[in-house]
Structure formats: C-alpha cells, structure tokens
Amino acid sequence: MPQVSMTVNGRPIKADVEGRTLLVQLLREKLGLTGTHVGCDTSQCGACVVHVDGKSAKSCTLLAAQLDGANITTIEGLAGADGKLHPMQEAFRDNHGLQCGFCTPGMVMSAVDLAKTNPNASEHEIREWLEGNICRCTGYHNIVKSIQAGAAAMQAAK
Amino acid sequence: MGADGIGAAVRRKEDVRFLTGRGTYTDDISRHGQTHAYIVRSSQPHAAIKRIDTSKALAAPGVVAVFTGADMAADGVGGLPCGWLIKNKDGSPMKEPAHPPLVVDRVRHVGDQVAVVIAETKAQAKDAAELVEIDFEPLPAVVDSLDALKAAAPQVHGDAAPGNLCYDWELGDKAAVDAAFAKAHKVAKIDLFNNRLIPNAMEPRAATGDYDPASGDYTLYTTSQNPHVIRLLMGAFVLHIPESKLRVYAPDVGGGFGSKIYHYAEEAIVTWAAGKLKRPVRWTADRSESFMSDAHGRDHHSHAELALDKDGKFLALRVATVANMGAYLSTFASCIPTYLYATLLAGVYTTPAIYAEVKAVFTNTVPVDAYRGAGRPEATFLIERLVDIAAKEMGMDRVEIRRRNFIPTDAFPYQTPVALQYDSGDYFSTLEQAQKTADWTGFEARRAEAKKRGKLRGIGVSTYLEACGIAPSNIAGALGARAGLYEAATVRVHPTGSVTILTGSHSHGQGHETTFAQVVAETLGIGIDQIDVVHGDTNKIPFGMGTYGSRSLAVGGTAIVKALDKVVNKAKKIAAHLLEASVNDIEFKDGKFTVVGTDKSKTFGEIALTAYVPHNYPLEELEPGLEENAFYDPKNFTFPGGCHIAEVEIDPDTGVTKVVNFTAVDDVGRVINPMIVEGQVQGGVAQGIGQALLENCVYDKSGQLITGSYMDYAMPRADDLPSIGVATHVTLCTHNPLGVKGCGEVGAIGSPPAVINAVVDALKDHGVTHMDMPASPQKVWSVINGARRMAAE
Amino acid sequence: MYDFAYHKASSVADAAAKAKGNDDAKFMAGGQTLIPTLKQRLARPSDVIDLAAIADLKSIAAGGGAVTLGAMATHASVAASADVKKAIPALAALAEGIGDPQVRNRGTVGGSVANNDPAADYPAAVLGLGATIHTDQRQIAADDFFLSVFTTALNPGELITRISFPVPEKAAYVKFPSPASRYAMIGVFVAKTAKGARVVVTGAGNGVIRIKSMEAALDKAWSAASLDGIAVSASACNGDIHGSSEYRAHLISVMAKRAVAAAG
C-alpha cells in the first residue's frame, strides 16, 4: 500500500492509501474533510473541486497516490485562520449564490481559480468557466453575480 | 419592520457552514464500527429470478453479510406503502401491487434492488457485489405507457394489475362538457407528451442505519424532505418498529425537488440490516444509481380539447391523460396525476365546464412521483399550449385571448369546476407587469433584427396558477390521502430571551433557518441572531409532515405563528403580573410589553427570565416556563400564480435554441425575504428551461435506461441559461395569518410553456403549431429541415 | 474501481521498463479519461504507471515552422501559451475548449491523442495539421496514427513523447458539443497548409476522418462558399439520442463552413 505525504490546508499529512484511492476519498474518509463532496461518478458535476498546487482540479478524478508532495487546499482551508471568510465566500453569501450548499464548495473553489486566472471575467466567460460545476438549485444567476462580486473583492484586497 | 424582520433581504444564517465546508450531510456522518452497503441492482428491465447465489460474495474479503429479498421476507418485512388511495371511475380502489424493498422472484425495472452486500469498506462491498450470481430469465418489457395499455402488452404485475392499469379515474361534469362542445364555435386540440425527467438533486441519496442493542433503539440517518413521514411509513408498515424506538434524522440535505419525499427501499434495508448485524450500515448512492433508483418525474401522454365560442371565450375543456407510474407505486405517485393535476386544469381562466380522465399505468421503468411542481407543471403546460393553439384557431392575439378568459380580479373567492376554490389573485396585473418588463410591444423589432443575423426569434407567454400547501386533512382524507397534511412547531423561549424554533418543515436549500427566524424576529422584536431553527430530527422536533409542494411557509410558518401567539399571550400575563396591570392593558410591540398609556414596560428578555425564575410570578394561575406548541391544519390550498415570458433565438442551421430573455412576475403572496424568493424562482425557472430545452429521460424499447449519467442526460449548465429576471406582484392569501402562498415551484410550473410557446412562435413560418419537450437542437433542426425540404419539393 | 498497483515513472525509459512484458499495465498521463474509465470499472489494469513526474515531457515550443508539444503538456498550458497562440491560434483555441477548466488543468495532449476517443478534440488537430507523433521508439505521421475507436498505431508499451504540429497558413476548429456530455458531437478542424487543405471531423463515427471532397473544394478556392452543396453521407456518421447520423452529417457541413470562415 503506497504511503503519500502532502500538505492539506497548510498542514503536512501522511496516509496509507490503495492504488485506487481517490483524493476525495482520502480527504473525506481519512482526513475527515467532508466539505468536499461527491455528486456524480462521471467527473462532471464539480462538487469535489479542490486546489492542487494552486489550480482547481476534480478530487474525484485524481488518485491520492499521484499527489505525493502536492499542496492541496480544500474549502475548509479557504477562510482565514481567524475564521474570516475569503472574499469569494463572502460574495456568495452576500449574493445568495447558494441554496442547498452541496455544490457550493466545488463552486467556490472553481470560482477562486477563475478569479485568479481571469480577474475581470465577463458574465459569458464566467458561465463558460462553470462548465464543470453543476448546480441544481440556483439556476446559476446568483452564482454568476457572486463570482463577479467575489473577483472584484479579491482584486480590491490585493 | 425590523432590520431583519418580514420583508428584509437578510443574508442567510445557514450560509457560513455551507461556505466553509462545515455542513453535515448524511454521507458526512461516520458511525463507530460502521459497515458499508452496496445494493446489487437489476441489469434487466423485466425478468424472473431463477436463482441467486451469494456464496462467492460472502467469501470475498471484508464481507460481513449478503442479504436477499428472501431474507427480508423471512423476517416479515413489509412492502413500501403508497400514501394515497385513488378510486376508479366505478368506485373500486386502485391496484397496489407489492413493492418489496428487495425483490423476491422478479425484477421489474433496471435498477430494481435484488440484494445487498455489506462489507467493512465500500470498495469491498462493491467488489463483492460483482460476485453475487443471479440467474435472470428475461421477460418482455414495456416502457411507454400507451404501449402498456395495449392488449398484447407485457404484464408488469400480472394479476395484481391486469392490463397494467393502476387506476382509471375521472373528475368533472362530463355531460356538461359534452353539451358545451356540441354548441362550440371552434375546438382547439392538442396531443402532447410531457417528458420524463430525472430530478438530480446534487446530493445523491444516502442512508445509514444504526441499532443500539442495549436500548433496542434504531436510528436512520437519511436524505429526506420529511423525516417523520419516513418514520411513520417505515416503522409502521415496513419494519414494524414502534415509533418510540425509531429516530429518523435528516441532517443537511443537498436538494430534494420532490425526489427525497418518498420512503425508499434503501432506508428500510440499512435500518433492518443494522438490527441484524448490530452494527451501523451505511449506504450512499453513486450517481449512476440515482439515475436508476430515484423516483422520476412527469411522463404524461395527453389529448385535450378546448371548446370556444365566437368571441374566443372558453366554453369547456376535455382532457384525457395517461400517466406512467413506472414499475411500482412510489409513496405519493397516485395523487400527482389526479388531485395535483386535474384539479388545476381551470388554470387562471373562467372555463365553466371541465372533464378529465386519467389512466395510471405500470411499466418496466423507474417509479414516477412528484418532481418540482408535481402535477401542476403538467396541467399548466397542457393549458398554456392549448390556449396558444386556440388563439391561432380563432385568429386572435395570444395575450388578448388570455385576458378575455381570465378570472376577474373581483371574482375571488372563485370556485372552479374542478373542485378548487381560489382565494385571491390578480392575473391582469402580473401579465401587464411582465409584458412591460419584457418589452412585449418591442418584440417585432427584435425579431426583425435577429432575422438580419440569420436567427429565428420568438416570444412566448404563460399565465399560470398553481396550488400549494395541500389541505385540509379531512377533505384530503376523504379523497384518499392516508396521512394528515398539517404542520407542527414548537417555540422554545430560553431564560435569557433567545429562542429555538423546532419545526416539522425541512429545509434542503430553501433557507428556512433564515425565513422562519425573520417571522419570529418580526413577532418578538428580537434579532435573528437570537433565534435558531431546528429541523430534521424526529427526536427533537414535533411530529410534522415535512417539506413538499411549496408548503413550508404557508403551513409550517403558520404553525410557528400560532405557537408564537400562544407565547405572546402567556408573556402578556406575566408582564401584567410584573407591571401590576390588567392583561387587557398590556400591549406588546417592538419587543416590549407596555401598560397602555404609560411608560411602564418590561422587555421580552425580562419576561423570559421571569418565566424561568418565577420568584415574583402568579404560580397559582400560570405555569412557569415559556414554550408553546402548535399544530396547524390549513383551511385551503394557497394559489400562487403569475406570468412568465420567454424570448428565444434559434439558429436554423443547427437547431440550437437559446433563451435570450426571461421574465417572471409571480404572485407568491407576502414576501418574507425577497432575496430568497428571487433565488427560489430562478432555480425553478432553470429547471423549467431544462425541461423545455434539454432534459429528457430516455429508455430504449427493451427497457434499458439510455440516459443513465450526465454523459447522456442533459443537465442545465451555467452557459445553457440566461439571466433570469424575477419580480413579484403580491395579493395576500386570505386564510393564513402571514398572507403567504409559496414560491418553491412557481418557476418550474410557469416557465416550460412560456419557452415552448416562444419556440413555436419562432418557427411559425415553418408550419409548426406544437413541439413536445425538450426542444432539442436535433428536434428543432429536423422540423426546420423538413419544412425546407417540403418547400424545395 | 478495481484496485491496481500504482507506479510513478521517473523517466521515459523507466516508464517503458515498468510496462515491459506486462500487457495489463496502463500508462497514465493526466488521468482525466483513464480515471473516469476506471471508476466505471470499464478497465481493469493490474498496474498504473504515472507519467506526471517526467519533467521533460511538459515542454511547449514553437520554431522551425512547427509547434511542438511535450506529451504531458496540459490543455490549460497549451491554451495559455503565447507561443502557441501566435504560431497556431487554432491549436490554442482547441485546447481552451476541451472539457472544463479542471480537466484542462490536468488533461494532456499526449493522453488525449493516445486514447483516441472518437469524440475527442485533439486528434482532429493532429490529423488536420498533419502532425508528427514522436514516441520513445519512432515517429509516426498523423495519417498513419489513428486506426479506429480507442485504437492507434502505438505498440503495447510505446509512449508518445511529443507531437509536432506544422504551422499552417491558416486553421480553425469549430465544434458542436453534445448537450449532455459536452464532448464534440461534431468537431471540424480545417487547415490551409503548404501541402493543401485539410478538413478533419471528430465525433462523427469511429474516430477522426478527413473529408476529401471538402479538401478538394478548398484547394480550388479557400472560402466557406466553396463548401456549398458538398454533403457528407449520413452513413459516415454514428447516431445517438442527441444526434442522428443525418443530423451529424448535416452538422459537419455547417461546422466546416464556420471553421473556414473563422480561419479567415
């Protein structure tokens, strides 16, 4: 059984995993980080999106063993140590960008990557970026608004 | 209104936990010593089971147990019950074939539960599931409900439902309708299929059963919209566990849309297995399992005719519908195409005579039950398409024919010919407001501009009505309901003045923790940060019916108001004692009890403390404490309504249809939190646009599910949808104290016909008068291409 | 998924050595197709050999009339590469349109081309530009590479190391995504190259195909109008619930014209 070491939300961890263990299984089942969700089994819904070395990725489509030495950030690691919400989290709250909350962690992690990659994304670009994140509750209207506001707040905070 | 009282767009209390990954969904809960279940499902649409051999699976690594239907039957486990008895035209009861949690000798749809493998890890359970050997003897299958009614059709339940017929039901005055048709100036007709949908809440269903051998107590953690309903059905009918020994806990639930109302086999399987194994048994659906085991929605074939007089007034409506029930009756399946559908066929119009007949049919498909809207979208789509066709037949404007037939705003309460009595509404205002917002009059210029770009542009309108908060219990009971339709609440005031609300309603995205707190804040004059809302745990909350049919605020919110009234009344007595005044002279306002006409007052917090530290207290007349319960059974449904306008653009080369503008103006009664209402409507509209343009559950002729994943089932994504403009125009509900009507489903009910009416309008020069949903690129292209070919020939 | 032994290859030679003699071993590039396939239990490799640690497979270079992508270059890095955008903008745009952002952050050109999914985007560019596939053993011309569904000219254990795309005079890729999966239901890559026009279709059938009738028309005159009246036979296309073979055949004509127009 391979052993992996990685940094998760700033904390070094070590774990024994099977070859087939997915990153999301490591996060949820071994590390108790249940904020990252699994909404499908075809790598399409995006509820499981985390950051791997600063880039968004689907934790259901990565083997834990692949990520030896990687730096992982999950939704639990986004807010400040003092509990202060990340500007993107704040924007989702201000703009009612979530309802049931299940797609939300992946949506927020994907949105943060977009705001870093393309800080001034248009509505059209935001909608295209969200191709890999499915939400059934909001109709995306308020998610788009949230991401616009969150991206602006991230820029202002720089 | 306080800063966070009724009408304020307060940010949601629940959001911080969801945004920081600290929500607790069923699959987030781990129990010490837990095992993992994997359900072995049928690969066959219809087959007899000759033999099941579990020996190899049992010997596989980590396997704890393998159970089949025979094991459950041997323990006397009952079938999954149906909650509503529908009677046939002749008064005889509907057919209710057995629905065992694990089948015994026959499978009836792909995904039917055959066995459960329980192991130390989920991967081990899944590995071992492949080793369960099942000898199927395939039987012919039937998928389409019209095919199922044919004489030679395969029989899904044999003698338990001859001819695959569950029931043949009717509503309305047939003779009056026939008479009206006999003198009609024109008759508009439609044949339509309301497409089958798969609900797809983003959280897959999950259930964990737990059993404490010391106390004999069972706990079921489950993804449910109504934990008490599950406790009642599973405890009383399936597993025969006294309710005092059974706790059902539905924690954070990731969307429901109806699909998590029902009592599912897996809930009974894990609870029963936990009792057998004396260990927790945990199950979570893979999305592929959700596709083949969550109850589906819609799937109606209908023929309808509308009789009109020479002025375009509707004289009568005649509807014949065949509703697909799937392979078994899901919990509320039977009432959806009857009391939640045919009763809505008057819509917003004064049609004086209506007759509907509905046949419910078994097929070799996943059971069909309520999905967001539940019956009302089916009725609305039929009416609103038929009205457009009638306008064309009459050579009348689509809006004018609607206005001419609207129920006048001064005609409420209005009794329809299909049982319902509407209490309030103003269909003219919602229509006018929507037309103005959508710039209806400027449309032809936009159409011409689009034409220059090679695009076909169309506009469609839908003026709809729906019914929420199904009630009252006694009338529903007389019509076959096997449950009450009230809601319950407890208001618990703590000694220092903070408040906990325990509600029977369940929030799975609707934001009750905020909206309900706003209602309490408004009444008690305290901030919403002083108020917590508890739901979902049968060991904490009073016996409630949960959340479905947009009932939570109208029914559950009213129960809270009733309990609050009791709290305030008792608090006034305590205040009167402290202030040495008559209770009749005590006024409660802005969180203060004041002796009228004086400056003598006590705060709500002071009264609360006195109630729990009753040193200076009228103990002879009044019990200490400040906690009250209420059960509320509504007098009537509520009737939200409104107008949706969709504008579409079609690329004739590819058939791709884009909704370029969408306007919703809804009357949802009093708005407690406009931000949340807007979000609910937008989400509903997105599902409606999904049904109209994208979503479609497809089986092949043999009964295999073709759309078994997101690879084939087209879920609306962000770039499929437009911005969705939402506004409200309020008339108050007259029979609940908040004046609220409900907003959860209006979006999904009003929008599909608006979209399809727009598509048909865009294609009117191609001879199109109707298109079934979804108006997929391929379908639209085929129509355009067919018309082009015809023109060329 | 079934369990397997996981290995991290340190070099191309190491990867080849690890795969040698083991027909049940699988190379993993970005894993964005392989892992979903394993999750569905549609494949059962005994060993998975991860190529991610091989540094020299990630390079992106333009020069000498070609763009050369290391097999492990991610779609996101190709899409963002200033060199690629300048030399073959159609290639950068194609990469930008693959899957979703998360897939693009992990998925690689080598993985996509070696897998040869009949609805994948990259094979259309490889064939459309007449690229050369470099492996650890040889060079293979695009025209000889794609054999049929999920099948290529690669031998067992043979690894793509890089792919060289000759810079065309002009090129464009336009796709019509499936409404559900978002894979190409039809994608058309057109290129005007020194050796003539190329029109390549993905998504239609059992892999990428060249439409010679369209190429001939474009050789005569490079314009969308040249494709008027050139129909593709529906028999060349598969059908499913989202697109019949007739509809797909029609879309080939529409997308081809749009691609030519986009190429300028």
CB-CB under 8 Å, C2 with A63 = no
Looking at beta carbons, which residues of chain B come within 8 Å of C254? 653-654
* pLDDT tens readout for residues B157-192: 999 999 999 999 999 999 999 999 999 999 999 999
* Residue B660 counted as domain residue: yes
Distance from CA of C182 to the nearest CA of A (A): 9
Identify the CA nearest to B610 among candidates B624, B628, B596: B624
Instruction: Return the number of other C-beta atoms located less than 10 Å from residue C132's C-beta.
Output: 18
Distance CA B121, CA B126 (A): 9
Residues of chain B found within 8 Å of residue A40, distances taken between Cβ atoms: 287, 709-710
Q: Where in chain A is the domain with CATH 1.10.150.120?
A: 87-157
What is the rounded CA–CA span in Å between residue A23 and residue A17?
A: 10
Integer CA distances (angstroms), C84 to B2, B103, C123, C151, in order: 59, 59, 17, 28
Q: C184: nearest CA in chain B?
A: B711
**B264–chain A nearest CA distance, Å:** 19
| Token pair listed for B33 | 């010593």
Residues B306 and B246 in one domain: no
Q: How far is CA B309 from the centre of its chain?
A: 37
Measure the CA–CA gap between A63 and C131, rounded to whole angstroms.
31
Test A55 with C38 for CB contact under 8 angstroms: no
Using CB atoms, list chains with 3+ pairs below 8 Å to chain C: A, B
Q: What digits encode the pLDDT tens for the residues B456-495?
A: 999 999 999 999 988 899 989 989 999 899 999 999 999 9
**B381 and B509 both lie in a single domain:** no
Confidence category of residue B3, pLDDT binned at 50, 70, 90: confident
Residues of A in contact with B11 (CB under 8 A): 93-94, 96
Q: In Å, how far from its chain's centre is CA A1?
A: 28
Q: Which residue has the tokens 């490889």?
A: C126
| Cβ neighbours of B17 in A, within 8 Å | 101
Nearest CA in chain C to A20: C3
Residue B1: the pLDDT is: 46
Q: How many residues are given for chain A?
A: 158
Q: Does residue B126 belong to any structural domain of this protein?
A: yes
- pLDDT grade for B786, boundaries at 50, 70 and 90: confident
Is B159 a member of any domain? no
- The C-alpha atoms of residue B116 and residue B41 are separated, in whole angstroms, by 9
Residue in chain C nearest A2 by alpha carbon? C6
Do B355 and B458 have their domain in common? Answer: yes
Q: C102 and A68: CB-CB below 8 Å?
A: no
Beta-strand (E) ranges in B309-370? 314-326, 353-362
The residue among B556, B690, B186, B648 whose CA lies nearest residue B401 is: B186
Partner residue facing B287 (CB), from A28, A40, A135: A40
B282-311: average pLDDT: 98
CATH number, position B410: 3.30.365.10
Query: B355 and B384, same structural domain?
Result: yes
Secondary structure (DSSP) of C238-249: --BTTB-HHHHH
CB contact under 8 A, B778 and C244: yes
Report the DSSP beta bridge partners of residue B630: B489
Domains, chain C, ordered by start? 5-50 (3.30.43.10), 169-264 (3.30.390.50)
Contacts of C96 in chain A (CB under 8 A): none
In angstroms, the separation between the Cα of residue B664 and the nearest Cα of chain A is: 13
Residue B2: pLDDT above 70? no
Cβ pair C105:A57 closer than 8 A: yes
Q: For B654, what's the count of Cα atoms within 13 Å in the CB-facing half-sphere?
A: 21
Same structural domain, B735 and B676 = yes
pLDDT tens sequence across B623-647: 999 999 999 999 999 999 999 999 9
Determine whether B55 is exposed, middle or buried from the number of CB atoms within 10 Å of its CB (0-12, 13-18, 19+): exposed
Mean pLDDT computed over B388-400: 98
pLDDT of res. A158 = 82
A3-77: CATH architecture = Roll (3.10)
Question: Is there a single domain that holds both residue B279 and residue B339?
Answer: no
Summarize the confidence of residues B60-84 as an average pLDDT.
97
Tell if the CB–CB gap between B709 and A45 is shorter than 8 Å: no
Across-strand partners of C134? C139, C162
- The answer on B377 and B309 residing in a single domain is yes
| Domain final residue, candidates B610, B632, B654 | B632
pLDDT tens digits in sequence order for chain C, 264 residues long: 999 999 999 999 999 999 998 989 999 999 999 999 999 999 999 999 999 999 889 999 999 999 999 999 999 999 999 999 999 999 999 999 999 999 999 999 999 999 999 999 999 999 999 999 999 999 999 999 999 999 999 999 999 999 999 999 999 999 999 999 999 999 999 999 999 999 999 999 889 999 999 999 999 999 999 999 999 999 989 999 999 999 999 999 999 999 999 999
Pair (B368, B274) in one structural domain: no
Do residue A62 and residue C31 have CB atoms under 8 angstroms apart? Answer: yes
DSSP state of B708: -
Domain end marker among B275, B293, B311 = B293
pLDDT over 80 at B789, yes or no: no
Measured CA distances, A128 to A111, A113, A121, A124, C97 (Å)? 12, 14, 10, 6, 10
Q: Does C30 touch chain A (CB under 8 A)?
A: no
Select from B19, B286, B724 the Cβ nearest to the Cβ of A89: B19
C-alpha B707/C-alpha B722 separation (Å) is 25
The CATH fold assigned to A87-157 is DNA polymerase; domain 1 (1.10.150)
Could you tell me the CA-to-CA distances from B624 to B23, B523, B631 in Å, in that order? 36, 21, 22
Q: SS3 of B167, please?
A: strand
- Token pair 């650890």 in the structure block, residue: C136
pLDDT value at residue A1 = 72
B718 CB neighbours in chain C (<8 A) are none
C244, C247, C258: best mutation site toward chain B, by most B Cβ within 10 Å?
A: C247
| Chain A residues close to B19, C-beta within 8 Å | 75, 85, 89, 92-93, 98, 101, 104, 108
Q: Chain C residues with CB-CB distance to B under 8 A?
A: 2-3, 176, 179-182, 240-244, 247, 250-251, 254
Does residue B730 fall inside a structural domain? yes
Is B11 in Cβ contact with A41 (below 8 Å)? no
Q: Is there a single domain that holds both residue B401 and residue B461?
A: yes
- Alpha-carbon gap: A57 to the closest alpha carbon of chain B (Å): 17
B745: pLDDT strictly greater than 50: yes
Q: Which of C241, C244, C254 to mutate to test the interface with B (most CBs of B within 10 A)?
A: C241
B649 CA to centre of own chain? 30
| Owning domain of residue B44 | 31-139+202-255+260-293
Q: What is the pLDDT of residues A137-152, one digit of tens each?
A: 999 999 999 999 999 9
Contacts of A41 in chain C (CB under 8 A): 39-40
Together in a domain, B603 and B643: no
Q: Report chain A residues whose CB lies below 8 A from the CB of B724.
A: 139, 141
Which residue spans within chain A are E strands per DSSP?
3-8, 11-16, 49-52, 55-58, 71-73
d(CA B198, CA A11): 41
Contact status of C36 with chain A (Cβ, < 8 Å)? yes
Domain count, chain B: 3
For chain B, the chains sharing at least 3 beta-carbon pairs closer than 8 angstroms are A, C
B711-B716-B717 Cα angle (round to 5): 90
- Closest-CA distance, A80 to chain C, in angstroms, reads 24
The helix/strand/coil state of C105 is helix
pLDDT tens digits, B682-736? 999 999 999 999 999 999 999 999 999 999 999 999 999 999 999 999 999 999 9
How much is the ipTM here? Answer: 0.98
Answer whether residue B787 shows pLDDT above 80: no
Q: Is A22 on the interface with C (CB under 8 A)?
A: yes
B665 and B746 belong to one structural domain: yes
Task: Give chain B's mean pLDDT.
Answer: 97
Mean pLDDT, residues B539-558 taken together: 94
Nearest Cβ partner for A42 among C31, C36, C48: C36
Q: Are A18 and C3 inside 8 Å of each other by CB?
A: yes
Contacts with A123 from chain B: Cβ below 8 Å: 723
Question: How many beta-carbon pairs below 8 A join chains A and B?
Answer: 176
pLDDT of res. B793: 67
Distances (CA, A) of B340 to B72, B221, B570, B738: 34, 30, 40, 24
Distance of CA A148 to the CA centre of its chain: 17
* Mean pLDDT to the nearest integer, B36-62: 98
Count of A-C CB contacts under 8 Å: 83
| pLDDT at residue C198, rounded to an integer | 98
At which of B612, B632, B652 does a domain end? Answer: B632
B-chain CB neighbours of A47 within 8 Å are 202
**Main-chain dihedrals φ then ψ at residue A103, nearest 5 degrees:** -80, -15
Query: Which of B289, B223, B293 shows the shortest CA–CA distance to B261?
Result: B223
Return phi, psi of residue A92, to 5°.
Answer: -65, -35
